[in-house]
Structure 1
Amino acid sequence: MNYPKLKALKYKLIIPLLVFLFGTGVLCVVIYKISYTNQERVRDKAALNAVSYADRMIADLNNGITITKSLEQIIISENGQIEHFEKVAENMMTDSIQSIQLAPGGVVTDIYPEKGNDTGKIDLINDPSRGEIARYGRDNNITVMQGPFQLKQGDVGITIRNPVYLENESGDKYFWGFTISIIRVPEIFSDSVNALEDFGYYYRLSKTLSPLTGEFTEIYSNCEEFISPVTYQFELGGCSWKLEVTPKDGWHADSQTTTVFIGGFIILFLLTGLTYALMVLQANGIILQNLSSTDNLTGLLNRNGFQEHLTKYMKKHSNEHCVCIALDIDDFKFINDLFGHSTGDKALCILADTIRSSFPKNSILCRSGGDEFCIILKNCTCKDAKAQIEAFTDMPRSFIASNQTQSFNISVGYAQYNPDDGSVEQLLIDADTALYNVKIKGKHECLEFNPNMNKKIRTPLGFALSDISKNLPGAFIIYKADKKDDSILFANKEMLNLTGCSNFDELIDYTGRSFRNIIKEDEREAVEENIWKQINALENDNNDYLSFSLKRKDGTVIPVLDHGRLINSRHYGNIFYVFIIDHDLVRKCLN
């Protein structure tokens, strides 16, 4: 038996097993913590909703109390009388009010509407079921509620009785009677309960029958069984009210526990497998080889990997033709500057995907650096590959930025390796020379190398929009050349200083992104008309200076000169590039 190999195998299995067991323990703790935290969060949210909607219910119930208080004020002001009671009550009626009543001396004499409610004309003080509560409200001078009870009309109601006291000629207060409103439930707080249901809650509203009992009676609910509800209690009309709320989906609603559990175990299995793979790869040195030859972003070969694969290929196939393709993204610096490097990375990955799908699998594919790519098509000539390369060049490509689809193009140069008189080094130079000539001609094209091409060495300056604009000795702004949409796209530091803003976001907040908002209000229409008049009569791609008053963020205005140019952008259509010059500063320099 080969004991060293068996020992190595056990070592490779034990370590991943320990990783799995340890990871399982950590995952269980994380899941418990997430579950507990989520349940607390859901309960806190439910409690907050219970308080919020209970407050709304209190406000709804107070509308019924307000009716009795308004009647009380009329009675006091009219010394115990209400003329035209039916008219007054009619104006106070709402959809949730069953009836409005007057009970001088505790005896109900006036009811609106009387039809269907006339049986309510009773002696409240001496009534067997109402007398004790009525006397309690009278003796303590407090508004009391009684119910719920079944109305004659089949609905459920709650009575609100407000005792009214008047003063006699001696200034002593005496009991006049009750002003009463009977409200229908749950109609009076239908908006609140409907909102709770729409937000995914079961609810139950209960109250004590009267101020004289502590026993709760259910008024309305949308569920028979409640599991550990949150409860909010409040006092109103001498009674205790209780609103119970529980989520329809349970207290683990919106929980991420299942997702974390599944994702955690997937990650755990992957981690365990990766641990084992890393141990194997570490022994074989494969992982180091891959890292040294592959581009991390696109998954294509990097420069070192490309050179290694090309060298191996040429040693075995030095007598075969092959084609080298050099390409890059047009205006890649513009993409990075305008949309950010992460978006630029997306464009690189999209291009890499089209390279993989467009050329044979045995091709050598490389991202040589930045936005530059190199491809070796094996065992073919430029004539063989021409149609394929042209189709690849013209292929539409786009990425998503700022919720809009932005297209981008590439430039391609290619050259052929001839076994009789060629070299690998010269092949790469020829392909790059062809690409350089595409750039000279205007980009977005593919060209085959020929010896008559301009062979000037490519020496890009390396300037970027941010480098140039940041250091411009003047205020510079870019905005859309559209009468209906003059959105500001860019402003340099000098422009921010001129408007009194500390950063670009502050400028956007101040102007609402509109260029016209930096123009003084009473000059906007004339200035915009002048700008478009100059643009419509544009000659030699230039326009004259324009003077207007620039409105700064602090409200002050300064006279400025505007000198701009209309540019057609592939990404934004027509845009203005504009220099803004402080007019007083120019005048001072001239003097």
Structure 2
Amino acid sequence: MKKKTLVPFVIFLLGICLVSLIVYITDTHENEQRHITAQLNATTYGERIKTEITDGIEITDALKQILISENGEIHQFETIAENLMSDSIESVQLAPNGVVTDIYPAEGNEAGKIDLINDKDRGEISCYARDNHTIITQGPFELKQGGYGIAVRNPVYLKDQNEQEYFWGFTIVILRVPDIFSDSIHALSDFGYEYSILKTDTPWSNIYKVVYQSDEQINHPVSYTFTIGNDNWKIEVTPKSGWRNNTLIIIISGIFLTIILLLTVLTRVWLVAKEHRNKYKILAHTDSLTGIYNRYGFDELAEKMISKNPQIHFVAALLDIDDFKFINDIYGHGYGDRALKSLADSMKAFFPSNALLGRNGGDEFGILLPNCTFEEADVQLQQFTKLPKTFSCHGEKHAFYISLGYAEYPTFASDRSQLLRCADAALYEIKLHGKNGCMAYREGLQSGVRKQLGFAFKDISEHLPGAFIIYRADKEKDELFYANDEFLHMSGYKDIDELFRLTKKRFRNLIREDEQQQIESSIWEQIDSGNENDYIHFHLRKADGTYLSVLDHGRIVESQQYGKVFYVLFMDWEDMHIRYSDKFSG
């Protein structure tokens, strides 16, 4: 009693310690990841903001190059400035000798015509730009038109007749804040960040001044610093939800606490229910799809049954579904599973309760009938083999068939292993003689005949030298079943699913519309008259909607599963015409 209580309690305590460690590691890792991600975003959008401001600087550079090339003059300034304007630019200005004389747009910007060199607020930084040959940014400052702006001043230098450099003045762009970097701040906001954009108040200062920031205060941000001209800029970001992912911590804690509680409960249940292990052992011996024994369970129980009663007679039968791979290829593995379950259900319903039933793997099943001789089992197994077997697909029932081989112990075998080998030999003997039948083992049969059946339908179809399809031979409703790779390649369909989708699984939809009635009539006239389907020429619809001139040769056969079906081989008409005309002309 103490063990049943103590062990779960110890597991619970150890689990709590483990959960605490996992939560700590997860929290630390998540915090680091959030810092790394935030730093990447700060770097990315810091560089983007730098680029956006640099785009404004390029406007001053463009004006500067015109001034240099035109020896200090700009003709049609308004036209040039108008072409340089964008949504984030408030105005473009010229300041010869540091005095703003030209502004575009002029309306509403009259107050901007000032002497920058001698202005109280702008003089010192403007002189710095002039004397150090460097671009400077100043702001943000309130605009007369409303909002805020940043001034970009680019000093211009010309050469006199003696090739001596002199200061001409400034080319200036006023950038609207936050319009100039709206894309970046919107992206940061969408990604769940609070942000702040700052710049040094002057090129010679280390004090940063906020240019623009989000509504909420940011705590413990990561930052990225970049330089424009001689000004230092900085962007700071922090997640809106903070650096700790509380939701993740709660989820992980909840999941692992639940697991620990479940583990504790399951441990107690396991300790209490030791006596019920046989039940779980049965589950380990059962095939999950069919509900009967799996191979391990079947072999183990068959061994025990024969070993326990070595004097009585047993009949072992092995059976499988004929052309099961074809069912999987045509209908898909889901419907193949339905066929397997249907077969297992019919076995459970047909055979007595003392019969051992198992699925040995794939589509192969085993039956062991205790206290039974060959004569007693023969009629029963023959009846089961002939019993109709079907599976449902899209509301329709499709028939399938089985092959079955059986052998008797101890007449032909001294143990379980040899008994099943004999049954296996009988099974594959019936496979070699047309399938859909039942055969008893007899002396001389070899289980090695498996090797003679080593060709799979897919292997054959993929390597046949020609393009072919299989479809239901029905005048009213033909149905495509299969097309090999060569046909798909010739007609431009990427796979059989695309072929089925674009043709609605109808052969007639592969024929050009104006030829459909004639071609179908021609095919059925030949069939009804008792002749083999002769060569027929028509235009085959390809995947891209174009048509390929083809020659087809079909043969109608009777399939146990699908009734009458057409096997049709296709040849490229033009290719044959060219090839054989060249051959015979030579």
Q: Name the aligned partner's letter for residue 260 of structure 2.
A: L
Give the equivalent residue in structure 1 for 2:445. none
Give the equivalent residue in structure 1 for 2:259. 267
Q: Name the aligned partner's letter for residue 114 of structure 1.
A: A
**1:432-451 matches, cutoff 5 A:** 433-435=386-388, 444=398
Q: Structure 1 unaligned runs (5+)? A: 1-8, 309-327, 375-422, 447-454, 482-486, 500-506, 516-526, 549-559
Equivalent of 1:77, from 69, 73, 92? Answer: 69
Contact 1:234 1:242 in 2 (8 A): yes
Give the equivalent residue in structure 1 for 2:202. 210
RMSD of aligned residue pairs (Cα, Å) = 5.5
Shift of 1:243: 1.3
Kindly tell me: are residues 491 and 205 of structure 1, through their superposed partners in 2, closer, same or farther at Cα, counting changes over 3 Å?
A: farther
1:219 to 2:211 alignment: yes
Shift of 1:289: 4.3
- C-alpha distance in structure 2 between counterparts of 1:21 and 1:171, whole Å: 87
Equivalent of 2:185, from 178, 193, 201? Answer: 193
1:118 to 2:110 alignment: yes
Contact 2:197 2:234 in 1 (8 A): yes
Q: Name the aligned partner's letter for residue 44 of structure 1.
A: I
- C-alpha distance in structure 1 between counterparts of 2:458 and 2:141, whole Å: 75
Q: What SS does the corresponding residue of 1:149 show, helix, strand or coil?
A: strand
- C-alpha distance in structure 1 between counterparts of 2:31 and 2:519, whole Å: 63
Kindly tell me: are residues 28 and 153 of structure 1, through their superposed partners in 2, closer, same or farther at Cα, counting changes over 3 Å?
A: same
Give the equivalent residue in structure 2 for 1:108. 100
**1:361-440 matches, cutoff 5 A:** 368-369=358-359, 430=383, 433-435=386-388
Give the equivalent residue in structure 2 for 1:172. 164
Equivalent of 1:22, from 3, 11, 14? Answer: 14
Shift of 1:293: 5.6
Give the equivalent residue in structure 2 for 1:66. 58
Number of aligned positions between the proteins: 459
Q: Name the aligned partner's letter for residue 89 of structure 1.
A: A
TM-score by length of 1: 0.62
Shift of 1:180: 0.6
- Cα-to-partner distance string for 1:122-172 (whole Å, 9 max, x where unaligned): 111111111110011001111110011111122100000000000111111
Contact 1:164 1:176 in 2 (8 A): yes
TM-score by length of 2: 0.62
Contact 2:534 2:554 in 1 (8 A): yes
Give the equivalent residue in structure 2 for 1:93. 85
Contact 1:488 1:514 in 2 (8 A): no
1:457 to 2:438 alignment: yes
- Cα-to-partner distance string for 1:469-491 (whole Å, 9 max, x where unaligned): 46x4546677999xxxxx99976
Shift of 1:589: 13
Q: What SS does the corresponding residue of 1:275 show, helix, strand or coil?
A: helix
- C-alpha distance in structure 1 between counterparts of 2:380 and 2:464, whole Å: 45
Shift of 1:298: 5.8
- C-alpha distance in structure 2 between counterparts of 1:532 and 1:140, whole Å: 84
Shift of 1:287: 3.8
Contact 1:295 1:367 in 2 (8 A): no
Question: Which moves more between the two structures, 40-49 or 276-285?
Answer: 276-285
- Cα-to-partner distance string for 1:37-93 (whole Å, 9 max, x where unaligned): 333333322222222222221221112111111111111111111112122212212
Q: What SS does the corresponding residue of 2:388 show, helix, strand or coil?
A: helix
Q: Name the aligned partner's letter for residue 388 of structure 2.
A: L
Percent identical? 39
1:181 to 2:173 alignment: yes
Q: Structure 2 unaligned runs (5+)? A: 302-319, 367-375, 401-435, 441-449, 473-479, 501-509, 540-548
Kindly tell me: are residues 284 and 91 of structure 1, through their superposed partners in 2, closer, same or farther at Cα, counting changes over 3 Å?
A: closer
Contact 1:479 1:488 in 2 (8 A): yes
Give the equivalent residue in structure 1 for 2:144. 152
Kindly tell me: are residues 152 and 579 of structure 1, through their superposed partners in 2, closer, same or farther at Cα, counting changes over 3 Å?
A: same
Kindly tell me: are residues 288 and 193 of structure 1, through their superposed partners in 2, closer, same or farther at Cα, counting changes over 3 Å?
A: closer
- Cα-to-partner distance string for 1:246-272 (whole Å, 9 max, x where unaligned): 222333459644333322233323333
Q: Name the aligned partner's letter for residue 283 of structure 2.
A: L
- Cα-to-partner distance string for 1:154-208 (whole Å, 9 max, x where unaligned): 2100000000000111111110000111110101111221122222222221112
Contact 2:469 2:482 in 1 (8 A): yes
Shift of 1:546: 8.3
**1:350-365 matches, cutoff 5 A:** none
Contact 1:232 1:242 in 2 (8 A): yes
Q: What SS does the corresponding residue of 2:75 show, helix, strand or coil?
A: coil
Contact 1:474 1:579 in 2 (8 A): no
1:133 to 2:125 alignment: yes
